[in-house]
């Protein structure tokens, strides 16, 4: 899988998540709250995210002004986030209660759709 395909896949995933969050807010708010309360699910998802992140970063670890740069930076951000949540599990509950709250969820949707637009442009049009 090359960097362009990763950007395209991430763009499609963010598109689907953005639409799902937009049209089913209450369902996903509840799902994210349930996710944060399930310690075994959190640990499993952290481990999967760290392994996938490590594999991607080791294959795309060049900071050149290409799509590889975008993939590298995004995955490093995601690895640091998941590593932090793994070290500080209570932060996940705080994050879930504050960021994924009903009052802030529109902002989450905005950022997901914004990232989708950027990734779709870079993956399919640029």
| Segment 76-82 long-range contacts (CB within 8 Å, at least 24 positions apart) | 78/49, 78/53, 79/49, 79/50, 79/53, 79/54, 82/46, 82/49, 82/50, 82/53
Which pLDDT does position 63 carry in this prediction?
65
Count of Cβ atoms closer than 10 Å to residue 110 Cβ: 13
The whole-number average pLDDT for the span 81-98 is 77
pTM: 0.73
What is the per-residue pLDDT across 25-50, written as a single tens digit (0 to 9) for each? 999 988 888 887 888 888 888 888 88
Number of domains in the chain: 1
**120 alpha carbon, distance to own chain's centre:** 15
Print the domain residue range for 34. Answer: 3-125
Count of Cβ atoms closer than 10 Å to residue 37 Cβ: 12
């Amino acid at each position: 899988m090359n960097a362009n395909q990763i950007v395209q896949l991430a763009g499609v995933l963010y598109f689907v998540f953005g639409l799902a969050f937009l049209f089913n807010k209450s369902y996903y708010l509840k799902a994210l709250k349930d996710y944060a309360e399930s310690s075994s699910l959190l640990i499993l998802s952290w481990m999967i995210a760290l392994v996938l992140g490590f594999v991607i970063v080791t294959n795309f670890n060049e900071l050149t002004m290409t799509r590889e740069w975008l993939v590298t930076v995004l995955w490093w951000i995601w690895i640091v986030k998941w590593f932090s949540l793994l070290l500080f599990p209570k932060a996940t509950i705080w994050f879930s209660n504050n960021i994924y709250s009903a009052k802030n969820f529109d902002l989450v949707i905005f950022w997901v759709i914004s990232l989708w637009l950027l990734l779709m442009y870079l993956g399919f049009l640029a």
